[in-house]
Structure 1
Amino acid sequence: MIEVAKRLQNVEEYYFSKKLREVAFLKSQGKPIINLGIGSPDLAPPFKASLALQDSLADDVAHKYQSYQGLPELREAISNFYKRQYNVHVSAQTEVLPLMGSKEGVMHISMAFLNKGDKVLVPNPGYPTYAAVTKLLEAKPVYYKLTEASNWQPDFAALERLDLKRVKIMWINYPHMPTGSNADNKFYDKVIAFGKRHDILIVNDNPYSFVLNEKPISILRYNGAKDVCLELNSLSKTFNMSGWRVGMLIGNYDFVSAVLRVKSNMDSGMFYGIQKGAIEALQCSDMWFQSLNSVYQTRRDLIWQLADHLNCIYDKDATGLFVWAKLPAHVKSEEFTDLVLKEHSIFITPGTVFGSQGEGYVRFSLCATAGIIKEAISRV
């Protein structure tokens, strides 16, 4: 019998991969499932982006292999986007690396900097991929707790008490997924200083900064950030282009070139037409964000109503593509979501998907029309 690699023993199939099969089965049995669990934008991308993709198909180079570093025009568009939206100046030639989705970047960064037995600081709750990739590379995730009482920000005093000798990477993610919490200036100064003090690469995963958020922030705007930080970003949520798989890595030349050495051996360049579409998306005016957030504002108001009917509590100051809601006392997350799925045919995400600190919470997605959310409210 051929055995799988030992590295898979501690890594399970991604929760949503499994759960969506269950949801699909229920739908096939005639259940009218409403999916409020997945953060896959249902709105259209910018029209000019789609048009640019279509028009590019007749170009002579459209169907050839593309550069691992992306088109120079795409890197320039990313650089200009960072300057315009975040007030961050980065070199399009040396400090920008387009990615086929930022999830790819989590793996490539980890492969570039981790050796077997190294440690990685992973937020709890947080994006499950951080820990999964760490385990796949036979490194060790060290979970740092985030709590509602601290506005879902790390306790640096507690971090300093940890054995940090083999810690190579710290994952942070603000605006935070799944809670929607935002970090303040003091946090960014602290985490940069922490990284410098212990020679830890700080990686900020930043795909939600424009969704229902009036003050988008990049960690790279802070003093000394480029010395010790990388930032991942994405067009998935910002421009409704999740299926296009367009992400980006921003940071100093040494860090970015190390990741490029991995990427160039792992995949090929991004499809030409997608790059041309991404360039157009990145040039959208602020009117795009205002229009997008107007829709999400309406949906979030309705999700708050749904949460009220389910006796959940939520933070109205949170941002992002989700509503993170606290359950009544002593109610378990997975039991609650299974019950809602069974009784009302509504799929929402249990907080435990994102770590043990997610127990007692659930996450609602805003990626459903107002009409669908109203139907969910009527069922409850």
Structure 2
Amino acid sequence: MIEVADRLKQVKEYYFSIKLKEVAFLKSQGKPIINLGIGSPDLDPPLKAVMALEESLNHAGAHKYQSYQGIPEFRDAVADFYKAHYNVHLSAKTEILPLMGSKEGVMHISMAFLNKGDAVLIPNPGYPTYTSVTKLLEAEPVFYDLKENNNWLPDFIALERMDLSKVKIMWINYPNMPTGTNAPHKFYDDIIAFGKRHNILIVNDNPYSFILNNKPKSILQYRQAKDVCLELNSISKTFNMAGWRAGMVVGNYDYVNAVLKVKSNMDSGMFYGIQKGAIEALTSSKMWFESLNSIYRKRRQLVWELAEALNCTYNEDATGLFVWAKLPPHLKSEEFTDLVLKEHSIFIAPGTVFGSKGEGYVRFSICEEEGVIKEAIARVK
């Protein structure tokens, strides 16, 4: 038996990869499983995006290798989108790099900036990929706590007391996943100042800013952000195109160019048709966002009802594709979600998937039809 690399000994298979196998097995045994654990949008993409993809199939050169930096029209569309929705001015030529989904960007950014032994500040709770990628690159995850009594924002006093001498990257994610918290303006000014003070690259992972949120923000709209910040963004959540795998990293030319050096050695460019569809999605009117969110509001109201039926509490001001709910005292997240799966055939995510500070919480997805969520409520009641 050939030994795998040591780096894999530090990384487990992704929780949802494992759990979805269990869910699939239960379904194969006839269990009527309702999946409220995954944030995979179930609604249709913009029709014009689908039509652009279809039409592109007959374009000359559509099936050839594409530029590692994406076609110019895609970068232009991203620049226009950032200007229209965030009031951020980006150079389409030098400050935008299309990605095959923003998840790819977590690895590429890490590879571009981390050496073995460097440290990375990672939110707890937070997106598990930040930790697994850090470990795969033999860097050190250093967790900073997000707590409900601080509105799931970093404690800057606690951060300043930490040993930051080896920290190279800090991951932030607002609107936050899994908690749905929106960060105030002051937070962005403070985090930029923190990055400048300690020479840390601040990366804001920003795929949820248009979901049930009337005031989308980009970290790049704040003063001096480009000095120490990058931002990841995606068309997956906002335009129901998760399977298309199209996103972008934006920011300072030198930082973006460093990521390009990694990316250009890892893939051979994004399929032309995907880019043409993404361009059309990014030009969607205000009506698109209003229509999308009107559906999600109704679903979220039902998920709140489901959470209440399970004796959980939640924050009505949270945004995004999930409801982050607090369990009654003394209950453990994984035991609770396993019990709900066993007794009601409903899969929800335990908060501990996202870190130790997720203990005592669960996460519900709103990526299911109203009728399905009503069925879940009926089962519990």
Q: Give yes or no for TM over 0.5.
A: yes
- Taking the aligned partners of 1:185 and 1:53, their CA distance within structure 2 comes to 38
Query: 2:158 is matched by which residue type in structure 1?
Result: A
Q: Which residue of 2 aligns with 1:120?
A: 120
Cα deviations by residue, 1:297-330 (Å, 9 ceiling, x for unpaired): 0000000000010000000000000000000000
Q: Which residue of 1 aligns with 2:66?
A: 66
Q: Which residue of 2 aligns with 1:186?
A: 186
Structure 1: gaps of 5 or more residues: none
Q: Which residue of 2 aligns with 1:102?
A: 102
Q: Which residue of 2 aligns with 1:37?
A: 37
Query: 2:184 is matched by which residue type in structure 1?
Result: D
* 1:28-177 mapped onto 2 (5 Å cutoff): 28-177=28-177
- Taking the aligned partners of 1:132 and 1:23, their CA distance within structure 2 comes to 23
Percent identity reads 77
Query: 2:51 is matched by which residue type in structure 1?
Result: L
- Taking the aligned partners of 1:251 and 1:299, their CA distance within structure 2 comes to 35
- Taking the aligned partners of 2:5 and 2:15, their CA distance within structure 1 comes to 20
Query: 1:161 is matched by which residue type in structure 2?
Result: R
- Taking the aligned partners of 1:162 and 1:344, their CA distance within structure 2 comes to 44
Taking only aligned residues, the RMSD between alpha carbons, in angstroms, comes to: 0.3
- Taking the aligned partners of 2:238 and 2:86, their CA distance within structure 1 comes to 14
Q: Which residue of 1 aligns with 2:7?
A: 7
- Taking the aligned partners of 2:267 and 2:26, their CA distance within structure 1 comes to 36
Query: 1:344 is matched by which residue type in structure 2?
Result: H
Cα offset, 1:7, TM superposition: 0.3
Name the count of aligned residue pairs.
380
Counterpart secondary structure, 2:178: coil
Structure 1 ranges of 4+ moved more than 6 A: none
Structure 2: gaps of 5 or more residues: none
* 1:356-375 mapped onto 2 (5 Å cutoff): 356-375=356-375
- Taking the aligned partners of 1:267 and 1:120, their CA distance within structure 2 comes to 25
Provide the TM-score with structure 2 as the length reference: 1.00
Cα deviations by residue, 1:121-157 (Å, 9 ceiling, x for unpaired): 0000000000000000000000000000000000011
- Taking the aligned partners of 2:286 and 2:149, their CA distance within structure 1 comes to 34
Q: Which residue of 1 aligns with 2:378?
A: 378
Query: 1:215 is matched by which residue type in structure 2?
Result: K
Cα offset, 1:268, TM superposition: 1.3
Cα offset, 1:60, TM superposition: 1.0
Q: Which residue of 2 aligns with 1:209?
A: 209
- Taking the aligned partners of 1:61 and 1:20, their CA distance within structure 2 comes to 38
Query: 2:300 is matched by which residue type in structure 1?
Result: R
- Taking the aligned partners of 1:101 and 1:60, their CA distance within structure 2 comes to 25
- Taking the aligned partners of 1:151 and 1:182, their CA distance within structure 2 comes to 9
- Taking the aligned partners of 1:314 and 1:149, their CA distance within structure 2 comes to 13
- Taking the aligned partners of 2:342 and 2:379, their CA distance within structure 1 comes to 12
Q: Which residue of 1 aligns with 2:292?
A: 292
Counterpart secondary structure, 1:266: coil
- Taking the aligned partners of 2:100 and 2:293, their CA distance within structure 1 comes to 25
Query: 2:273 is matched by which residue type in structure 1?
Result: G
Cα offset, 1:333, TM superposition: 0.2
Cα offset, 1:114, TM superposition: 0.1
- Taking the aligned partners of 2:50 and 2:239, their CA distance within structure 1 comes to 11
Provide the TM-score with structure 1 as the length reference: 1.00
Query: 1:363 is matched by which residue type in structure 2?
Result: R
Q: Which residue of 2 aligns with 1:26?
A: 26
* 1:267-306 mapped onto 2 (5 Å cutoff): 267-306=267-306
Cα offset, 1:163, TM superposition: 0.7
Q: Which residue of 2 aligns with 1:242?
A: 242
Query: 2:151 is matched by which residue type in structure 1?
Result: N
Cα offset, 1:31, TM superposition: 0.1
Counterpart secondary structure, 2:98: strand
* 1:292-331 mapped onto 2 (5 Å cutoff): 292-331=292-331
- Taking the aligned partners of 1:359 and 1:152, their CA distance within structure 2 comes to 14
